[in-house]
Amino acid sequence: MTRSRNRRLAAALFAGAALALTAAPALAVTPTVETFSAHREVPFADCPGFTAVGIWDIDHRITYFYDSEGVAIRDHDQVDFTGRIVNAETGAWVPDSGSRTFFDTLAPDGSFLTTYMVTVRKSDYIHDAGRIDFQSGDFHGHDGFTPDNIAALCEALGG
């Protein structure tokens, strides 16, 4: 009976210690969030006889995570965009929207140690979805920026 009680006591102490260790991250500084919006109009693709222009409304939500000293150690940047791709000559356009989410680990000076991005683009012509590792340049997923897709986009815009 004593061995059983000792084992239960040891298990309870071990569980308590494990719980205390997992509670340590709770001592970190509360994350902060910044949000802002922007409107962008930029050249998007060179089509035969015209330039396709991207026009988007963009919403950013950046969450910063800190260590117990208050130093930012990583961030999560959610970028959502809605808009259109336009034939600058005729005004013909197609809808374009999507999101990009950046996951960064940060050095104590705020510089980027690692970054990867998850992207989803909802377009009839240049749809894509995948993950890009900025350290290696590797992309895994569906790449919608192929020459055939750009050609179809240009044709849809009147090129």
Across the range 129-156, mean pLDDT stands at: 94
Give me the pLDDT at residue 29, please.
87
* Cross-strand bridge partners of residue 97: 82, 122
Rounded Cα distance, 129 and 122, in Å: 9
Q: Which amino acid is at 42?
A: V
Strand partners, 142: 129
User: What is the model's pLDDT at position 72?
Assistant: 95
Give the pLDDT confidence score for residue 13 in this predicted structure: 47
Cβ distance 78 to 99 under 8 Å? yes
d(CA 50, CA 111): 39
Mean pLDDT of 51-63: 97
**What is the reported pLDDT for 103?**
97
Consecutive H or E run containing 134 = none
Average pLDDT over every residue of 12-40: 70
Coil, strand or helix at 151:
helix
* HSE toward the beta carbon, residue 1, CA cutoff 13 A: 0
Two tokens, residue 4: 């059983």
Residue 5 has pLDDT above 60, yes or no: no
pLDDT of 120 reads 96
pLDDT over threshold 70, residue 3: no
Alpha carbon 141 to its chain centroid, in Å, reads: 14
- pTM flag (> 0.85): no
Question: What residue ranges do the domains of the chain occupy?
Answer: 28-156
CB 135 within 8 A of CB 123: no
156 pLDDT above the threshold of 60? yes
H or E stretch at 137 = none
Helix or strand or coil: residue 99? strand
Q: What pLDDT is recorded for position 96?
A: 97
Cβ-based burial of 126 (10 A; exposed 0-12, middle 13-18, buried ≥19): buried
Each residue's pLDDT tens digit, 79-91: 999 999 999 999 9
Q: Would you state the pLDDT for residue 23?
A: 47
Report pLDDT for 6: 52
Q: Using a pLDDT cut of 70, give the percent of the chain over it.
A: 82
